[in-house]
Amino acid sequence: MANGETEWKLQEAPLVDIDAKTIGSVSSLRRHSQIEEETVKEELELALPDYEGVAFGGYSWEIENWHELDSRASSSIFEVSGRQFRIVYFPQGILPSSGYASLFLEYIPSKIDKESQDYGVCCQFALIISNVKNPSLRVASSAHCRYSPEIQDWGFTQFAETKRLLSRNSPVAPPIVEDGALRINAFVRILDDPTGVLWHSFNNYDSKSKTGYVGLKNQGATCYMNSLLQSLYIIGTFRKIVYQVPTEKDESKNGIAYALQRCFYNLQFMNEPVPTTDLTKSFGWDSLDSFMQHDVQEFNRVLQDNLERSMEGTMENALKNLFCGKMKSYVACMNVNYESARTEEFWDIQLNVKGMKNLEASFRDYIQVETLEGDNCYYADTYGFQEAKKGVIFESFPPILHLQLKRFEYDFERDTMIKINDRYEFPLEFNAKAFLSPEADQDQNCEYVLHGVLVHSGDLDNGHYYALLKPQKEEKWYKFDDTRVTPATLKEVLEENYGGDYFVHPPFRPAVKLKRFMSAYMLLYLRKDKIDELIAPVHKDVIPNHLKEVLDENIRFVDQQRKERLESHLYTRVEVITPDYFANHHEFDLAKFGNPVDEDSMLHIRIKKELNVSNLLPMVSERVGIPASRLRLWYIVRRQNYTLRVEEPVNELNLSIEEAKGKWNPQGDILRLYLEILPENQTNYPLVNVSFDSPNIFLFIKYYDRKNQEIIGCGTLIVLKSDKLESICPELCERVGLPKDTLLHMYEEVKPGYIEYLRLNKTFAEGELGTGDIICFETRNPEDNDQANNKFATAAKLYDFMANRVVITFRPRFIDQESILEFELVLDRRIKLVKLCEELAEKLNTYADHIRLTTCSPLAYAANMVVPNNPNITLYEIMHASEEDTVSNILFYEIMNVSLSDLDKKRLLRVTWLFEGLANAELIDVYINKIGNVSDIFNAISQKYPELEVPNHKVRFYEILEHKWYRDINMRTMLRSLNPFARIIGEIIPEEELCLQENERVIVVCHFHKDVARMHSIPFKFVIKPGEKFAITRERLRFRTMYPDNIFSVIKFAIIDFDRNAVVYLNDDDDVFELLAGCNGTLAMDRAKKEIRKPTILDRAIQMKG
């Protein structure tokens, strides 16, 4: 039974006073007063005002003895406009221990519904439990849902506390359940579903069959790209241009134009969501790029630029003719006849949203004229400084007009980017002629029709893009949300994307104002006189043949896969290991199931579950091209020791495929078999019987090729249990081209990590060998040349390595290293750190003792713990050093300037050095002898930066704690006396401090934001002078800090009086020296905290390879 979520919980206020004498079977609200019916209806309509109701009705169910009810009670069936419902009541709740009664409204599908299996009935309903005698004592809730084959009941698992129903609410009021009686009312409003997807679960939803369009798959954070691509796809003219880019040559197959052609072709002809990995691969992106959210407008410009380059010499200006308009920037003098103007092209227009009511207001703001006067006069070449008017005006608009709404802007107060969610309206049609230059061609058509709205949902750091598009001139709108395409209403296109606030009206509750986080981000307008041409259908005959030939075959393959997925419940997958597969399997065991590379080389058969096993052999015979008389199939099972072995031949031919799978692989969904093939020259030799009580056993043979360091499959062998192992040595030698008298060693693959040596003078029975076991042999006396450069002298050693083998990815610890190299190594997890570093040193061309490793957090994929410099620690111990359950096979490496042994004698200190004021602070890592002093810190820094070689008396180091000055530290201060919790700051002392005049003072200046408790950044020393106005002091502070204008201009300066805990903001005429002389305080800078960090790979702009 479905668990509906409570939309509005009405605990106290009465929903409607129902006549206490009414006792119900089937009834409608006509049996209640007209006022009551209208009250309920109005409240429900107010809750969902945008949905048209097609019917409204209700039912009253009176229960006479609550205590005798079963755990589940149902009302009689009642109808609302031909639709049948009933109330389902759980007096003690679905979970009796919860202490809540559960209440649901169940829909009874009609005969037509059951036949269609695709019905949907959208309902809004209210459920009320009330006292029979006093209906004002009640508990009520309302909800809405879509009844479908998946959901046939909806409601509330915790409708009301059982004790509340049975207990008095006050000394004078009876309980709701009085004398065992209560009434349950249901009010049902059936709603129209104009799109067919209202409150749809979208399970098994098929976009192509419902809308004629398919979506694009999201690779992680490529929704911004998907929304733009869909908006470009619906423009038939653009699609034709893309198809006409020459891509027949092989070198074009990796280009962006070819990938975009494939994408558009698949969008037109595929029946399921289209992947975009080929497209992003053509951009030169890796998997990390696909998880980086970018700006739609930025992506559009980079894509268009790249396409234009692809069209050079063929269709130049084709894109420009579609998307490019012209605007004129001008400065016109007001008192002399002089104008400076420049005409430039635009591909899109960025319009302000903040402070603007609608699109027209933004356009008027865009072309607003600015008057240049006073100190801001314009310098005209021959007239000198003149008052002038400055502005921008449009000269022409393109057929396709992209308008980017500036929903994101920089907030100087908070010093960060924010999203503008203000309400902003845009029309279905608008005329841009009012924004044309008077000198422009006034006969050009400037009427535009809205055909696309690209939407951003969420906030700046956690958002999602989708598109609402109108692909045809008179067709309805659709919502393109990654893989899903659904019909959309005009309200979804306009009202829901204007942004701003909106109201919800819970039934019988005051309205609640909420903020809408969905808002239009980019608008697509098509010029009215060009619409028929722009969105004309693209027929297959205009698409190049080389595209159709390749992509049609791919689409057929995808459609076949899709069909197989839909029919998968009717079929069983069969995987057959062939002798060829076994010969090329160089690992432990019979096969490696679950590995896509290995499974591709197996024989795959898809067979109906109800067919008999006897149908398998003819199908296998046809696939391998060998007569069935030479073939035998064996069942493969997983033994208790986690190995895969054949168990017995496929003999019970009357079993169904489903029965066979259930018997031999009950936990899986695949039937796995081995194919035995009789040699061609033994066609008349019958297949040897191998059964549980047979004297024969069926073995698999492998050979260790010591020279090439690999295991090779050498087929199978049927032997007598009573034979000795040495009896098969001549045949084994013959199979690998060795003399028959070659001495051999043999091993049995028992289980992973355990290989047992076999004595050749024992029988197979004595060696406990049975059907399905695997024997590996090797030469006993290897030749000298086989030993050369061989890592594994015996098969046992190779098996031991394979059992402990791990693949480790090594990544540079910091992305700003000079040589960024990421690579993988196959290693033994028991390798010691010293040997591991030797292998890394060879790979990185450095010294082994200069490599430091850091583990990787398996959840954050970030550096975790530095590996201690212990040469005997193993790789396994390194990977499992943390207490996290999941282990990451990634290690970060650093190439240090000193050896790790020297590093152990030194202390890492991170010093913030102020190169030119606070704006140029840099974090420097230095390694200093643990017995050193502060002068050693400066010596180490000056070695890195020779320009800092100044006398020690001109250098200052100091410590800060919690962004407050802690203490000065002189050059003789020992490192062991430094505060481990303090931050070390270093700088060259400013000249005005070194030449301090009489009466001048040196003070500490700190940073805060609005509240003195919110200190941040680096405090610094500053000289204040008696009698100096703050206007001059501020300019010296500008020079001292070297902050750029955009930061310094928003700083407020204040005096903090610590005794009074007060902040006094300064004016230009204030004397800082005098103000500080009269209080226990300091000078402070009030500004938002600016997080200064090094750029990371996630900060890079969109780039596409050419």
Active site residues per annotation: 223, 464
Give the Cα separation of 404 and 59 in Å (integer). Answer: 52
Nearest to 1020 by CA among 1083, 941, 1094, 1073: 1083
Angle between helices 256-269 and 296-310 (to 10 degrees): 110
Give the DSSP H or E segment for 661: helix 657-664
Provide DSSP, 266-318.
HHHH-SSPBP-HHHHHHTT--TTGGG----HHHHHHHHHHHHHHHTTTTSTTH
Q: Is the Cβ–Cβ distance between 1019 and 963 less than 8 Å?
A: yes
The CB density around residue 180, as the number of other CB atoms within 10 Å, is 13
User: Residue 413 is encoded by which pair of tokens?
Assistant: 């107060």
The set of residues, in sequence order, having a beta carbon less than 8 Å from that of 410 and lying 6+ positions away, is 416, 417, 418
Give the Cα separation of 240 and 245 in Å (integer). Answer: 9
Tell how strand 805-812 and strand 890-895 pair up: parallel
Rg, C-alpha atoms of the chain = 40
User: Residue 237 is encoded by which pair of tokens?
Assistant: 């003219």
3-state DSSP assignment of residue 233: helix
Give one word for 963, left, alpha or beta, with left for phi > 0 and alpha for psi -120 to 50: left
In the block, residue with structure tokens 């169910």: 61
Give the Cα separation of 702 and 732 in Å (integer). Answer: 9
Give the Cα separation of 198 and 744 in Å (integer). Answer: 74
Provide DSSP, 374-434.
GGG-EEETTTEEE-EEEEEEEEE--SEEEEEEE-EEEETTTTEEEE-----B--SEEE-GG
Amino acid at 1023: V
Give the Cα separation of 1074 and 999 in Å (integer). Answer: 12
Nearest to 804 by CA among 825, 824, 827: 827
Q: How many residues does the chain have?
A: 1106
Give the Cα separation of 799 and 588 in Å (integer). Answer: 7
Beta bridge partners of 418: 409
In the block, residue with structure tokens 């010029």: 527
Residue 277 C-beta-side C-alpha neighbours within 13 Å: 6
User: Residue 110 is encoded by which pair of tokens?
Assistant: 């009609």
Give one word for 847, left, alpha or beta, with left for phi > 0 and alpha for psi -120 to 50: beta
User: Residue 91 is encoded by which pair of tokens?
Assistant: 């007096």
Q: What does each C-alpha distance from 1051 to 237, 453, 735, 1014, 1045 come to in angstroms?
A: 52, 39, 85, 15, 10
User: Residue 261 is encoded by which pair of tokens?
Assistant: 């052609």
> At residue 30, what are phi and psi to the nearest 5 degrees?
-65, -20
3-state DSSP assignment of residue 47: helix
Q: What does each C-alpha distance from 283 to 223, 276, 287, 358 come to in angstroms?
A: 16, 11, 12, 36
Tell how strand 463-469 and strand 378-380 pair up: unpaired
The CB density around residue 808, as the number of other CB atoms within 10 Å, is 19
Give the Cα separation of 555 and 546 in Å (integer). Answer: 14
Q: Is the Cβ–Cβ distance between 898 and 850 less than 8 Å?
A: yes
Q: Can you state the percent helix, strand and coil of the chain, rounding each to 5? A: 25, 35, 40
